[in-house]
Amino acid sequence: MSTPPPLREVIAEYGLRADKSFGQHFLLDLNLTGKIASLCGDVSGITIIEVGPGPGGLTRPLLALAPERLIAVEMDARFIPALEATADYYPTPFEMIEGDALKVDEAALTGGGPAVIASNLPYNVGTPLLIKWLKAEPVFWHRLVLMFQKEVAERVVAPAGSKAYGRLAILTAAVASARIVLNAPARAFTPPPKVDSAVVVIEPLPAAQRFTDLAALEVVTESAFGQRRKTLRKSLGIAAGKAGTSAETLLEAAGIDPGARAETIPPEGFFRLAKAWRDTKS
């Protein structure tokens, strides 16, 4: 099998300058993208969805993993001819979707079959995309391999009591386990962004261990961490008001000390709180 031309040549040939409005910072080091792709694990029989392939630095090693097929979702149409030409070098079936990943129905794309999502995420949509995938019901993915800016990666995996702990860690812990597996300094990207990045691997929990009412969990965590220095008795007031009750009543139902601060309560405490909120509201 012949290999596609070097990425820099492809970028020059197709005139693919990075466009800041799409959050474009490219990975051109195929050693690094090869490592990221390998985090997908065994993908035989599995569809990989790549969000934001850009010029294809990660797409190449993903195609080389020989998944069942690779579906690439890219908002910037300029990349499509280059990506299609690259994919021709690999036997893996390749599908290109031009559009906004926030609006794509991934389960429909994969026909309900197992999927892995791999992405060097555009910074501006990384968090909303993760929340969309965490909320997906039924869970269509069996692994997410996602490059975030480091500070966001730390918020995804943060344990209770740490500075980065909050809404994102709790929503993630409700349905999945997550770990940071790789760090990438800003200089690994072209052009370099202002901050370092990290790859997070996220896997769904067994169905019986998931807390799936993420909508209720969002309400209570937003309220609790909106004023994270205050005690829960105070900070939960907004969420309690929405359910027509008091913070104290909710906290009592969840078995949580009203004098505690949000950051000291482990995810399970917030699951109980979300359940109490939902039961009171309905």
Residues that bind ligand SAM (CB under 6 A): 22-27, 51-54, 57-58, 73-76, 100-102, 120, 122, 125
Nearer Cβ to ligand SAM (7/274)? 7
Nearest to 118 by CA among 61, 175, 172, 77: 61
**How near is the Cβ of 30 to ligand SAM at its closest, in Å?**
11
What are 190's two structure tokens?
A: 């072209």
Nearer Cβ to ligand SAM (172/197)? 197
Q: Mind giving me the DSSP string for 206-257?
A: PGGG----HHHHHHHHHHHHHTTTSBHHHHTHHHHHHTTS-HHHHHHHHT--
**How near is the Cβ of 24 to ligand SAM at its closest, in Å?**
5
Report the residue number whose CB is nearest to ligand SAM.
Answer: 52
Nearer Cβ to ligand SAM (51/70)? 51
Nearer Cβ to ligand SAM (22/89)? 22
What are 182's two structure tokens?
A: 């790789």
- For residue 106, the 8-state DSSP code is H
Nearer Cβ to ligand SAM (61/237)? 61
What are 222's two structure tokens?
A: 């937003």
Q: How many CB atoms lie within 10 A of CB 185?
A: 11
**How near is the Cβ of 13 to ligand SAM at its closest, in Å?**
16
**How near is the Cβ of 50 to ligand SAM at its closest, in Å?**
7
